[in-house]
Structure 1
Amino acid sequence: MSRVVEEMEERLLNGSDVEQRRDLRKKIWSELRKTWRIALPSTLFRVTSYGCIVVAQAFTGHSKGTGLAAFALLQGTFIRFIYGVMAGMSSATETLCGQAYGAKQYHMMGIYLQRSWIVDIFTATLFVPFIVFAGPILRLLGQDIEITNTVDEIYPWVIPYLYSIVFTMTMQMYLQAQMKNAIIGVLSTLALVLDIAVTWWCVSVMGMGIHGALLGLNISSWSVVVAEFVYVCGGWCPHTWTGFSTAAFVDLVPMLKLSISSGFMLCLEYWYMSILVLMSGYTKDANIAITAFSICQYVYTWEMNICLGLLGAACVRVANELGKGDADAVRFSIKVVLVVSAVIGVICAALCLAFASQVSYLFSDSPQVSDAVADLSIILSISILLNIIQPILSGVAIGAGMQSMVALVNLASYYAIGVPLGFLLTIMFQFGIKGLWSGLLAGVGLQTLILSYIIYKTDWENEVKKTNERMKTWTLTLPNRESGATISTRDEERK
C-alpha cells in the first residue's frame, strides 16, 4: 500500500514539474512577445534614423575628397556629443511615461511629453553655438585645415537636424511607453526610403555634393517629426494626449533634474567615441584615419542601435511593471532581455569579422581605407561582444529612475579608467587608435561589472514603493469635462 502511495505521489510530482515547465514556457514566450513588440519598432527607428546619416556620409564619400572626413569629424564630435545629450534627456520621458502607463495614469503622459519638449528645446538651443563655431574650435584643437574648412561650409545644414532630434526622440519614447511604437518603425522606414531618393536626386542629378546629402537628411528627419505630430495630435492617442496644456509648465525643475541626469548618463558613452574620432585627426594620415575609424564607428553604432532598441524594451518593461507594482515580473523581464541581447551580439560580432574588408567600399573607393578598416576589425568585434550586456543594464536603470547613479558609474568607468588607460596605451606604447579604443573597452568592461552588481543587489520591492511615491508626487488631477470638477485617474477607475 505504501508503495502504491509513493508511486502516486511521484506521478503527481512529475505532473507538477511538467505543468511548471509549461507555465515557464508560456511565461517566456509572453515576455518575448512583449519585449519584441517594443524592441523591434524601436530598433527599426534607431537603425533607419542612423541609416539616414550613413546615406549622407556614403554619398559624400563618393563626391568630394575631404567631404567624408569633414562630415565624419563634425558628426563624430559635435553632432554625436549633442545627440548623446538629447538621447539621454529623452530617456527621462521614457521613465516617466512608462511608469505612468503602468500605473494607469494615462493623462500624465501627454503632459510629460510637453514638459520634455520645453526642457529639450532649451537645452538644444544652448548647444547651437558649438555647431556654428565647430570649424574654428576644431582648428584651435589642431585639426587638419582643409578638413575644417569644409566643416565651415556644412555646419548650417546641421542646425535644423539638431532640433528635429528633440521631437523624434521624445515622441518615440512617449509612443513606445504605451505600446504604440509600430507606427514609429513604419515612419522611420519610409523616411529612409525618402532620404535615399532625395539625396540621390540632389547629389547625383543636381550635383549639389555634400550640401545635397545634408538637405536629404533634413527633409527625411523633419518628415518623421511632422508625421508623428499628426499621429499624436490627430486623435490616435485619445487617452494619453488631451491637447496642449499649461500643466506642462508645472514641475519643470524636477523634470529638468531627471533629464539632466539622464542626459549625463548616456552622453558620457557617446562622448567617448567622439574623443576617439577627434584623436584620430592627430594621426599621420588624418584623412584615412578619420575615414577608417568613422566607418568602424558606423558598424559599431548600427549594432549599438539594435542594443538600444532592446534597452528601450528593458526600460519600458521595467517601468511598466514597477508602475503595476510587480517586482517579480521586473526580475523576469530583465533575464529574458539579457538572453536575447547576448544572442544578437554574438551574431553581429561574427558577421563583423566575416565582412570586415568589404564594408568600407560602401563609403569609400580607397584601398588604403579598406586596409585600415580591416586592421581595426578585431577590436571592433570585441567591442560588439562587450556591448551585449551594458545597454540592457542601462535600460533597466532608466526604467527604475536610477539615472544619477548610472551617470556616476559611467563617469568613473570611462573617464577615470578608460581615458587615462587609452592615452597611456597610445602615448607610451604607440598603439594609436587601437590604444584609445582598448581604453574604451576597459571602461565598458568595468562599467558592465559594476552595473551587473548594482542590478543584482537591487531591492525591487523597494523600487516599487519609490515608483508609487513618485507617481503620487508628480500626478496632476484630470479635469472632468462634463461637470468641470477634477477627479484623479484612480477615482475614475473606481467609478
Structure 2
Amino acid sequence: MDGGAEQPLLVKVHDDGGGGGGSFVKEFGAESKTLWKLSGPAIFTYICQYSLGALTQTFSGQVGELELAAVSVENSVIAGLVFGAMLGMGSALETLCGQAYGAGQIRMLGVYMQRSWVILLVTSIFLLPIYLFAPPILKFFGESDEISRAAGKFAIWMIPQMFAYAVNFPIQKFLQSQRKLMAMAWISLAVLVLHIFFSWLLIFELGWGLVGAAVTLNTSWWLIVILQLIYIFVTKSDGAWSGFSWLAFHDLFGFIKLSLASAVMLCLEFWYLMVIIVIAGHLDNPVIPVDAISICMNINGWDAMISIGFNAAISVRVSNELGAGNARAAKFSVLVVSITTVAIGVVCMVLVLATKDIFPYLFTNSEAVAKETTRLSILLALTVLLNGLQPVLSGVAVGAGWQSIVAYVNIGCYYIVGLPLGLLLGFVFDFGAMGIWGGMIGGICLQTLILIIIVMSRNWDKEASEAESRVKKWGGAIASH
C-alpha cells in the first residue's frame, strides 16, 4: 500500500444476516447515491462528446441526402470502427487504474496513462489506411459507389480526429478512475457550445458544407484533449501525475495483451450495430434505408451514452472495490446499477415510441427518409431497452478484468448468431432493413442473457484476490520508485 496516497471513498456494505428489508433499502440508497455521483457527470460528458459527431451529422442532413449519408457512414463506420478500437484499448486502463486506485497505489496511474498513449498512438498509424482507402473498403462491403465516394472524401478530412481519440481515451480513463468526472464534464460542455456555434457558422453561414463540418469536428476533439491535459498538468491530479517517465515503455507486452483483449471485447460490441448501416447499402435504393438507419443509430447513440455513463461508474466501483478487497460491496454495486439502468431503459423505450412521428424531422427534410425512420422506430425502442442493461454488464466485465471471456461471448452471440440471422431475415425473407436489425437484436438478447449468467456465477472473493495479484504484478516496481 502507498501510505501517502489518498484512499478512495468506498461504500461499506454490511451483511445483516439476511434479515431486515429496511437495511437493504438503506444500503441500496447509499450505493445508488455513490453510483449517481459517478455516472451523472460521466453521462453528461459522454453525451456532450457524442453530440459533437451527432450534431455534425444533423447539420449535414439539412444540406442534403447525400451529405447526410456521407457523414453518417464516415461517422458510424469509418470513425466508428476506429473509435471502437481506441476506446477498447483505452479501456484496459479502467481495469488497471481502477484497481490500483482502490489499492491506494496512486502514483501508478500516470505511468499507466503514458503506456496507453504509446500503444494507442502506434495503433493509430496502423489504422490510418482505413481512412486513406475508405471508398474501396466501403464498396467491398457493398456500399453504393455514390455514398462510398462521398464518405471517403469526408474520411480523409477527419484523419486528425483519429489521433485525438488516441490521446483522449487514456486521459478519460485516468481521470475517471480517480472520480475526477466533473472536470471532464465542464470541459466537454464548453467545447460542445463552441462546436454548435462554429458548425452553424462554417456549414451554413460561410457555405463551407462538409469541409466546414470536418474542420469544426476535428478542432472540437483536439480542444477537449488540450483542455484536459492542461487540467492534469496544472493540478498534478493529486499525485497521480508526476511528469513524463521512461517507465511508460516498461512491461508493455502484458499491457498490450490486456489492451487488445479490451479492444476486441468493445469493438465486437461497438461495430455490431454499425454493420447494419453497411449491410443496408445492399438494399434497393440504399440512400433512404441508410439515412433512416443512420438517424435511428444517432438516437440510439445518444441513449447509449446514458448506459455508457453507468458503464463507467460500475467499472470504477467494481475495480475500486475489488482492488481494496471488498468482494461483497462490488457484487452489491452490480445489483444496484442493474436495477437502475433497466428502469431507465423502460423510460427511454416509451419516449422513443411516443415521438416516433416527430424525431425523424430533426435530422432530415425528406419525407421518404422520415417515413422509413418512423417504421424502424419499434426496433429502435427495443434496442434502447436493451441498452439499459447490456453495456452495464460489459462495464462490470471491464472493472473485474474479464475482457477475454466476454470477447468470446460477443463473437458467438453477435457474429455467429445475430448477424447471420439478420442477413437471413433481411434478404432471404425480404424483410429489408427491419429484418436485418431485428435479427441482430436477437444476438444482443442472447449476449445479455449469457452476461447475466456469468455475473451471477462468479466467485467474487476470488475476483478480489486476483485484483490484488494484478496490482502487484504491474505496479510493484513502479510503486517503489
Is 1:419 aligned with 2:416?
no
1:153 deviates by 2.6
* Correspondence for 1:4: none
Q: Which has the larger radius of gyration?
A: 1
> Which digits, 9 at most, give the CA deviation of each residue in 1:114-135, with x for residues without a partner?
1111111111221110111101
Q: State the alpha-carbon separation in 2 of the partners of residues 152 and 390 from structure 1.
A: 32
* Correspondence for 1:300: 300
> Which digits, 9 at most, give the CA deviation of each residue in 1:333-375, with x for residues without a partner?
0111111101110110000001112111111101111100110
Q: State the alpha-carbon separation in 2 of the partners of residues 357 and 177 from structure 1.
A: 41
> Which digits, 9 at most, give the CA deviation of each residue in 1:231-260, with x for residues without a partner?
111124032111111111111111111010
> Which digits, 9 at most, give the CA deviation of each residue in 1:91-139, with x for residues without a partner?
1011100000000000001111111111111112211101111012223
* Correspondence for 1:336: 336
Correspondence 1:276-355 to 2 at 5 A: 276-355=276-355
Is 1:196 aligned with 2:196?
yes
Q: State the alpha-carbon separation in 1 of the partners of residues 306 and 377 from structure 2.
A: 19
Alpha-carbon RMSD across the aligned residues, in angstroms, is 1.7
Q: State the alpha-carbon separation in 1 of the partners of residues 434 and 65 from structure 2.
A: 25
The change in CA–CA distance for 1:212 and 1:82 in structure 2 (over 3 A counts) is same
1:50 deviates by 1.1
Q: Which moved more, 1:190-199 or 1:130-139?
A: 130-139
* Correspondence for 2:75: 75
Give the residue type in structure 2 aligned to 1:407. Answer: A
* Correspondence for 1:258: 258
Q: Is the 8 A contact 1:59 1:210 kept in 2?
A: no
Q: State the alpha-carbon separation in 2 of the partners of residues 195 and 236 from structure 1.
A: 28
Give the % identical residues.
37
SS at match of 1:237: helix
Q: State the alpha-carbon separation in 2 of the partners of residues 150 and 342 from structure 1.
A: 39
* Correspondence for 1:11: none
* Correspondence for 2:3: none
Q: Is the 8 A contact 2:78 2:155 kept in 1?
A: no
Q: State the alpha-carbon separation in 2 of the partners of residues 138 and 477 from structure 1.
A: 46
SS at match of 1:234: helix
Q: State the alpha-carbon separation in 2 of the partners of residues 171 and 261 from structure 1.
A: 19
* Correspondence for 1:362: 362
* Correspondence for 1:185: 185
> Which digits, 9 at most, give the CA deviation of each residue in 1:454-492, with x for residues without a partner?
11010000011111111111114458xxxxxx56xxxxx
The change in CA–CA distance for 1:477 and 1:384 in structure 2 (over 3 A counts) is same
Correspondence 1:369-448 to 2 at 5 A: 369-448=369-448
1:142 deviates by 4.0
* Correspondence for 2:6: none
> Which digits, 9 at most, give the CA deviation of each residue in 1:179-211, with x for residues without a partner?
111111111111111100111111122110011
Give the residue type in structure 2 aligned to 1:390. Answer: Q
Following TM superposition, the consecutive aligned residue runs of length 4 or more in structure 1 with deviations greater than 6 angstroms are: none
Q: Is the 8 A contact 2:74 2:152 kept in 1?
A: no
* Correspondence for 2:52: 52
Is 1:458 aligned with 2:462?
no
SS at match of 1:235: helix
Q: State the alpha-carbon separation in 1 of the partners of residues 478 and 132 from structure 2.
A: 43
* Correspondence for 2:239: 239
Q: How many residues align?
A: 466
Q: State the alpha-carbon separation in 2 of the partners of residues 373 and 152 from structure 1.
A: 25
> Which digits, 9 at most, give the CA deviation of each residue in 1:251-281, with x for residues without a partner?
1111111010001001111222221101111
Q: Is the 8 A contact 2:422 2:440 kept in 1?
A: yes
Give the residue type in structure 1 aligned to 2:79. Answer: I
Q: Which moved more, 1:176-185 or 1:153-162?
A: 153-162
Q: State the alpha-carbon separation in 2 of the partners of residues 234 and 352 from structure 1.
A: 43
TM-score by length of 1: 0.91
* Correspondence for 2:4: none
Correspondence 1:42-121 to 2 at 5 A: 42-121=42-121
1:85 deviates by 1.1
Give the residue type in structure 1 aligned to 2:370. Answer: S
Give the residue type in structure 2 aligned to 1:451. Answer: L
Give the residue type in structure 2 aligned to 1:109. Answer: L
Give the residue type in structure 1 aligned to 2:206. Answer: M
Gaps in structure 1 of 5+ consecutive residues:
1-15, 480-485, 488-495
> Which digits, 9 at most, give the CA deviation of each residue in 1:33-82, with x for residues without a partner?
22112111111111111111111111111123411111112222121111
Correspondence 1:123-202 to 2 at 5 A: 123-202=123-202
* Correspondence for 1:122: 122
Give the residue type in structure 1 aligned to 2:77. Answer: T
> Which digits, 9 at most, give the CA deviation of each residue in 1:392-445, with x for residues without a partner?
111111100000000000000001111111111122211111111112111111
TM-score by length of 2: 0.94
SS at match of 1:241: coil
1:146 deviates by 2.2
* Correspondence for 2:5: none
Q: Which moved more, 1:372-381 or 1:282-291?
A: 282-291
Q: Which moved more, 1:181-190 or 1:99-108?
A: 181-190
